[in-house]
Amino acid sequence: MRVIVRNYTRFVRAGLLVMLPMVLTAADLTIDHVTVAGKDLKAMQATLAALGIPSEYGGLHSNHATEMALSSFPDGSYLELIAIQPNADPAAVAAHYWSKHMQNDAGPSAWALRPADLAAEVKRLQASGVAVTAPVRAGRARPDGVGLEWETANVGKEPNGTFFPFLIHDFTPREQRAYPGGKPTTQSFSGVARVVIAVRDLNASIKRYRDAYDLPEPVQLQDSRFGARLASFLGTPVILATPLNAQSWLGGRLDKIGEGPSAFVLRLKDPAQNAKSYRITSVATWFGIEVSWLNTGKTGWWLGFE
């Protein structure tokens, strides 16, 4: 998904200086992956499996704190399950930017973009007045011994990938990271469609996103069942959500976890596919699109599909 801004270029025609709009790519909002965090990786995998979404183990991170599994999709995006690894270094766990999310089984925790040029995107965001960290190299070894290396940059002052998505670039082939088994883990869903980000101040958050990505005014609606006022930047995966009242589940989440993703929406690969085969708790219409919420039980996850 590309967000476009217009600048101006000029050329001489018949001796006249002519100003014409020049389209520049301001940001590439291609979702690389979204993250669900918790204490117990196997329990998280079991929850997804019960929903008809298989996952595969991805390995231990090199941070001595976390391990992961993933459900990958045909479009290259994936749902990352991240939890505390066995025999983890307590200090490393405590220092991890998603420590609070893991310790509280918070579920949706972060998301990442895959820009075509990470260095250029860092400079563009900095020029827009957005705080961006210098890229940091990281990696992990897959269970089959294949080593993976990448670099990430955090955008904004919040924990990594919570309010703004963090940026990621691979040094090893990305397919090895997204598809440990050599192919998507499921063909039922084509990818991650939307990220719903819980925020305290909707207007201020809208402004921050518009300033960072040169977005137009969002469309807004209210969903009483979800307990939020929603703002969608149409044509992007971003939906901002602020609680309707302090007593809502979303208000409680903000108090306990802070701002960040509160729900993910997947895209059903075949629109004609029988959605009744999935365990659904409710259906909502968001911005002209029907969203079916999966029954995630008592996990506190909000995971749906469109």
- Domains in the chain: boundaries: 31-178, 189-305
Among residues 232, 193, 242, the alpha carbon closest in space to that of 209 is found at: 232
pLDDT value at 17 more than 60: no
pLDDT score of 7 more than 60: no
The CA dihedral of 295, 298, 300, 306, to the nearest 10 degrees, is: 0
Q: Do domains 31-178 and 189-305 have the same CATH topology?
A: yes
Mean pLDDT, residues 198-221:
96
What band does 298 get if pLDDT is binned at 50, 70 and 90? low
pLDDT digits (tens, 9 = 90+) for 167-187: 999 999 999 999 999 999 999
pLDDT band at residue 300, thresholds of 50, 70 and 90?
Answer: low
Average pLDDT value for the chain:
88
Instruction: Quote the pTM value.
Output: 0.88
- Where residue 277 falls among pLDDT bands split at 50, 70, 90? confident
- Angstrom distance (rounded) from CA 123 to CA 35: 25
> Which of 24-28, 204-208, 242-246 shows the highest mean pLDDT?
204-208
**In this predicted structure, what is the pLDDT of residue 270?**
82
What superfamily does domain 31-178 belong to in CATH? 2,3-Dihydroxybiphenyl 1,2-Dioxygenase, domain 1 (3.10.180.10)
Of the candidates 140, 135, 167, 138, the one whose C-alpha atom is nearest the C-alpha of residue 69 is 140
Give the residue-averaged pLDDT of 78-106: 93
Return the minimum-mean-pLDDT range out of 84-88, 167-171, 276-280: 276-280
Q: How confident is the model at residue 1 (pLDDT cuts 50, 70, 90)?
A: very low
Calculate mean pLDDT across residues 94-109: 92
Query: Cα 118 to the chain's mean position, in Å?
Result: 17
pLDDT at position 155: 97
Three-class secondary structure assignment of the chain: CEEEEEEEEEEEECCEEEEEEEEEEEEECCEEEEEEEECCHHHHHHHHHHCCCCCEEEEEECCCCEEEEEEECCCCCEEEEEEECCCCCHHHHHHCCCHHHHHCCCEEEEEEECCCCHHHHHHHHHHCCCCECCCEEEEEECCCCCEEEEEEECECCCCCCCCCCEEEEECCCHHHHHCCCCCCCCCCEEEEEEEEEECCCHHHHHHHHHHHHCCCCCEEEEECCCCEEEEECCCCCEEEEEECCCCCHHHHHHHHCCCEEEEEEEEECCCCCCHHHCCEEEEEEECCEEEEEECCCCCCCCEEEC
CATH number of 189-305: 3.10.180.10
Instruction: Return the structure tokens found at 223.
Output: 């969903």
Residue with tokens 């084509």: 190
